[in-house]
Each structure stands twice: as C-alpha cells, then as structure tokens.
Amino acid sequence: MQIKLFDSEWKLMEMLWDREPVSAKELSLVAAEEIGWNKNTTYTVIKKLVDKGVINRSEPGFMCTSLVKREDARRAETESLIDRLYHGSRKALFSALLEDEKLSAEDIDELRQLLEKR
C-alpha cells in the first residue's frame, strides 16, 4: 500500500496513533489544544484520511482507529524522500546526512553496529 500523507494528515495521524481508539470528538479537542485547529478542520482531515483508507471511523461515537501502522507510514514516506531527492540511493542519503554532522566516537560505533546487523 502506498501511503502519501500531507502535513495536516500527519499531525492528525500522530494524535490518533498515540491515543487510539479515540473518538472523532476527542481528536478534535486534542487538535484544538495542541495545534489550534477548530472542529471543522479536524473533521475535514478525518474525512480525507477515511477516504484514503488510512483510518476507520465507526459507530458508536465515531470511533477512529488507524488502518496503517505508524512505522509503515514512516517507511513509505522515507522511501518517497529517497526516491525524490536521491534517485533511490540510500548511500547518497546517508552521505548527505553525515556530511556536516559532528559525530562522537560512540555515535560512530552505534552506526557501525547497525550497519553490521544488516
């Protein structure tokens, strides 16, 4: 499943993943408190996510649950970024990330261990 979420959809999904299952009303209250959205904005984004097949909204109480795991959405977004900016090259992405980064010996060891596990 290809997942493409816009910034507003990501914000709502993060709130959902942290609280699910949660009612649409509760999501609207959290969105109002955390990012200043009004109820209509939240409900519009929920509808878009339902239409995309990313969340399910069910009765009673318009309970919302995710149909996509957070990690799957992150992975899809990462793949899209790598394809768009680095022509699919993970090596080019890592080179860009590490180019100006000051890494401690401990950081380098951790990265080396992660690579060796692959």
In sequence order, the 6+-apart residues with CB closer than 8 A to the CB of 41 are: 8, 31
User: Is 77 part of any domain?
Assistant: no
User: Is 89 part of any domain?
Assistant: no
pLDDT band at 10 (very low <50, low <70, confident <90, very high): very high
User: Is 115 part of any domain?
Assistant: no
CATH number of the domain to which 32 belongs = 1.10.10.10
Quick check: pTM over 0.85?
Answer: no
Q: Which two tokens stand for residue 65?
A: 């649950």
Report the alpha-carbon distance of residue 25 to residue 9 in Å, rounded.
Answer: 16
User: Is 43 part of any domain?
Assistant: yes
User: Is 37 part of any domain?
Assistant: yes
How many domains does one find in the chain?
A: 1
User: Is 94 part of any domain?
Assistant: no
Report the alpha-carbon distance of residue 62 to residue 23 in Å, rounded.
Answer: 5
Q: Which domain holds residue 57?
A: 7-70
Q: Is the pLDDT of residue 1 over 70?
A: no
